[in-house]
């Protein structure tokens, strides 16, 4: 562990444009399960694909039921050591940006400014109509969902399906966020993957792109990934343990 911390510190010292790329693993110590670890969300509920959400009312009811159940279970989660370390590294000018696949809002909560944060898979804290783009707060959805006994509300303006502002499997990626992530990646000389199984594409393409463009690649992940062989450093220690000290230093 000490070796990993020292090596990471050295790589950060020598980097001019370090970028962090985070997945669900950075939030597990905050009590939010990831997808693919044993007992993770994947083993409990298979995600609802985008086309099923759009075409089946029952799928929308189920998606919102799960969303509010998650809110009950994890709504009070606070940033962990990994989030705090990244916020600290950013404010100290040692990190250029954070690209996240997470939708839990914990990078913002730890103080990473929006200008340095790319949320590739959207944000679960509000909803939009898929037809007309009208924005709804979760409280608006929840009131109607509960009043109707568990039926997903449709858009008050156009009747279209209302979906949390996150990207589902099969849904188009947000263009602006993809472009911002690509720019950060191209400029990176150090690219640090933190808590991602690296199996969800196109997101998982960024570490590969960074490596191809000449960046050093670091992978902090409990389980092996397909990219370990091309990484310059791999640590399987707990993310919070590795990054913890960076939360306390400049
Ligand atoms: P994933 O579940 O596929 O992979 C997480 C990886 O993190 C696993 O390989 C696991 O071994 C590792 N890990 C978990 N806890 C760790 C710890 N404390 N220390 C070290 N390693 C740890 O997650 P993914 O690659 O991010 O892909 C899943 C998709 O689902 C993403 O789009 C993600 O945003 C979404 N998701 C998000 C959340 C969230 O917002 N917190 C939670 C679950 C899933």
**Residue 225, strand partner residues:** none
The model's confidence at residue 39, banded by pLDDT at 50, 70 and 90, is low
158 is in an annotated binding site: yes
Q: Which atom of ligand 1 is nearest to the CA of 241?
A: 19
**Cβ proximity of 2 and 171 under 8 Å:** no
- In order of 39, 51, 185, 189, 229, the CA distances from 45 in angstroms are 11, 17, 32, 38, 31
Q: CATH 3.40.50.1220 in the chain, residues? A: 1-32+79-121+172-250
Please tell me whether the overall predicted TM-score, pTM, comes out greater than 0.90 for this model.
yes
Mean pLDDT of the chain: 94
**Of 154 and 40, the one with more pLDDT:** 154
Find the 197 Cα to ligand 1 centroid distance in Å.
7
Catalytic residues: 121
Q: Tell which atom from ligand 1 comes closest to the C-alpha of 29.
A: 18
Which CATH code of 3.90.1140.10, 3.30.1600.10, 1.10.10.1200, 3.40.50.1980 fits the domain covering 35-76+123-166?
3.30.1600.10
User: Hey, whose CA ends up nearest to atom 39 of ligand 1?
Assistant: 102
Residue intervals in the chain for CATH 3.30.1600.10: 35-76+123-166
User: Whole-angstrom Cα distance, residue 3 to residue 124?
Assistant: 37
- Helix (H) / strand (E) element for 41: namely helix 41-44
Least confident stretch, 26-40, 46-60, 140-154, 159-173: 26-40
Q: What are the pocket residues of ligand 1 if the criterion is a CB atom closer than 6 Å to any ligand atom?
A: 23-25, 27-29, 32, 34-37, 40-41, 101-104, 121, 195-197, 200, 221-223, 238-239
Cα–Cα distance for residue pair 216/100, rounded to 1 Å: 19
pLDDT for the residue numbered 224: 97
Q: How far is the CA of 52 from the centre of ligand 1 (A)?
A: 23
Name residues whose C-beta falls within 8 Å of residue 221's C-beta, 6 or more positions apart in sequence. Answer: 25, 193, 194, 195, 196, 197, 198, 234, 235, 236, 239
Q: Which CATH class is domain 1-32+79-121+172-250?
A: alpha beta
Q: Which atom of ligand 1 is nearest to the CA of 221?
A: 21
Ligand 1 centroid vs 139 CA: distance in angstroms?
27
* Cα–Cα distance measured from residue 134 to residue 51, given in angstroms and rounded to the nearest whole number: 20
């Amino acid at each position: 562990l000490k070796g990993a911390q020292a090596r990471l510190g050295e790589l950060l010292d020598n980097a001019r444009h370090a970028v962090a790329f985070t997945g669900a693993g950075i939030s597990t110590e905050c009590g939010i399960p990831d997808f693919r670890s044993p007992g993770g969300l994947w083993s409990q509920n298979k995600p609802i694909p985008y086309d099923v959400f759009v075409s089946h009312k029952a799928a929308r009811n189920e998606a919102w039921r799960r969303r509010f159940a998650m809110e009950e279970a994890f709504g009070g989660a606070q940033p962990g050591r990994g989030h705090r370390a990244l916020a600290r590294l950013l404010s100290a000018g040692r990190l250029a940006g954070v690209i996240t696949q997470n939708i839990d809002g914990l990078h913002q909560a730890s103080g990473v400014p929006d200008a340095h944060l790319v949320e590739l898979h959207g944000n679960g804290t509000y909803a939009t109509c898929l037809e007309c783009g009208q924005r709804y707060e979760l409280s608006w959805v929840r009131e109607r969902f509960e009043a109707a006994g568990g039926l997903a509300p449709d858009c008050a303006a156009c009747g279209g399906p209302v979906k949390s502002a996150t990207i589902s499997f099969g849904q188009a990626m947000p263009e602006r966020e993809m472009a911002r992530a690509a720019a950060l990646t191209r400029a990176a000389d150090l690219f640090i993957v933190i808590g991602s199984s690296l199996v969800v594409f196109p997101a998982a393409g960024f570490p590969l792109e960074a490596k191809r463009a000449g960046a050093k690649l670091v992978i902090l992940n409990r389980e092996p990934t397909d990219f370990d062989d091309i990484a310059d450093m791999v640590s399987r220690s707990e993310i919070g343990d590795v990054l913890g000290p960076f939360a306390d230093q400049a």
